[in-house]
């Protein structure tokens, strides 16, 4: 994982509140204040993409089957998605943020990170956040919540704490006071399949997670990589770099596929993901790259796309590490009842082996070489016996 530099920065995470519902209300103001959801109009099939706050009061939520939602609330209004308007208002949203800084990293259609360090020298960060909220709300009727912190992770945690229209400041010295009382399910990056294991084993709060007495128990439950990542983030020792070009092709290697027949079974997606991961790994090896970040992309049948990533504390070119992270991201973000039309996997924060920090060349690579040589030898022997394609999958190969 990329570490924070010593000089404190002021990072904003700006998260639009129920963005798709907000856009729907712009298109049809009569929806304001009413219980409605984005899905398939005039149908009981499919699942909901999202629900208004009024609908959520009844327990209606994203990924819920429409027929189940209508049983709970027969008067629920279902609205078709409007992708053209989503793109238009996303661009409006970004244009407002860029009035204040050019250092903007788009995390998804409804959230961005922005480095406000320079402009905050002229205007207090909280005043600045309130101004951005006012501009977005009064000009475009888009409510948002904003987290302010010295790292991207803490800013994201802050924006999630107060919705709608909240502003939360988290300084490093306030982490214990603000974050430790929260549940482990609130740790950004801890997936929905992971936190129940923690809770069932007595790790219920972030304070429990960070307690040194629980360290080995937590590692046993979530793995060393996840523990190290979350621990560093929750001590304020994670990235403070907002990178507008983070997802440029030149800085990443990725594979994705769109399916004519949408997939709803996680085992099918897992098989596809393994093939893609092997392909990405082969490209890494061919270019002699190491990576720090693994990213999963899922697009459902309603064209709602999520991108989730996990960063390591050090560079790796270990296929099994990359594959394990990819599978973990899939398991944590796959939703039962949804069908998926696109799956993608990528690696980023790349570094050529010759450019690795010195300690890699002195220790890490030498340790890995013996294992890799043995693995490569076994693979070659296997392929000599069973054919060159025995361990590799290519697109459209059956």
Q: Which residues are catalytic?
A: 111
What the block records as the tokens of 392 is 């590799």
Per DSSP, the residues of 39-55 read S-TT-S-SB-SEE-HHH
- Distance CA(90)–CA(202), nearest Å, equals 41
Q: What is the dihedral of CA 357, 358, 359, 360, to 10 degrees?
A: 60
Long-range contacts (CB closer than 8 Å, 24 or more residues apart) made by 26-31: 26/85, 26/89, 26/140, 26/141, 27/82, 27/85, 28/79, 31/77, 31/79
CA 250 to chain centre: 21
Structure tokens at 166: 């909240």
171-192 b/e (C-beta count within 10 Å ≥ 16 → b): eeeebeebbeebbbbebbbbbe
Residues 6+ apart with CB under 8 A from 114: 11, 12, 14, 97, 100, 101, 103, 104, 105, 242
């Amino acid at each position: 994982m990329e570490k924070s530099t010593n000089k404190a920065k002021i990072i904003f995470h700006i998260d639009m509140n129920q963005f798709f519902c907000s856009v729907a209300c712009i298109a049809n103001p009569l929806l304001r204040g009413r219980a409605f959801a984005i899905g398939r109009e005039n149908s009981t099939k499919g699942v909901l993409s999202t629900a208004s706050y009024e609908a959520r009061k009844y327990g209606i939520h994203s990924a819920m089957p429409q027929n189940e939602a209508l049983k709970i609330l027969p008067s629920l209004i279902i609205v078709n998605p409007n992708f053209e308007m989503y793109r238009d208002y996303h661009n409006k949203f970004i244009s407002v943020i860029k009035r204040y800084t050019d250092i903007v990293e788009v995390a998804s259609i409804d959230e961005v990170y922005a480095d406000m360090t320079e402009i905050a020298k002229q205007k207090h960060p909280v005043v600045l956040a309130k101004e951005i909220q006012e501009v977005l709300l009064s000009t475009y009727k888009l409510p948002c919540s904003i987290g302010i912190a010295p790292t991207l992770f803490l800013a994201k945690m802050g924006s999630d704490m107060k919705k709608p229209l909240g502003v939360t400041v988290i300084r490093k010295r306030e982490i214990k006071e603000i974050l430790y009382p929260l549940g482990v399910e609130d740790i950004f990056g801890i997936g929905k399949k992971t936190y129940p294991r923690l809770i069932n084993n007595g790790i219920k709060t972030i304070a429990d997670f960070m307690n040194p007495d629980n360290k080995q128990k937590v590692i046993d439950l979530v793995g060393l990589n996840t523990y190290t990542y979350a621990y560093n983030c929750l001590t304020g020792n994670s990235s403070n770099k907002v990178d507008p070009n983070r997802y440029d092709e030149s800085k990443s290697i990725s594979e994705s596929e769109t399916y004519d027949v949408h997939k709803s079974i996680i085992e099918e997606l897992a098989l596809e993901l393994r093939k893609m991961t092997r392909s990405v790994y082969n490209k890494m090896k061919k270019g002699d790259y190491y990576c720090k970040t693994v990213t999963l992309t899922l697009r459902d049948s309603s064209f709602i796309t999520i991108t989730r990533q996990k960063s390591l504390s050090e560079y790796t070119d270990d296929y099994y590490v990359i594959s394990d992270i990819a599978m973990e991201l899939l398991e944590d973000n796959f939703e039962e009842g949804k069908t998926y039309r696109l799956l993608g996997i990528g690696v980023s924060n790349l570094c050529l082996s010759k450019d690795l920090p010195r300690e890699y060349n002195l220790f890490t690579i030498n340790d890995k070489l013996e294992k890799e040589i043995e693995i490569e030898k076994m693979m070659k022997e296997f392929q000599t016996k069973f054919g060159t394609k025995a361990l590799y999958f290519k697109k459209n190969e059956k």
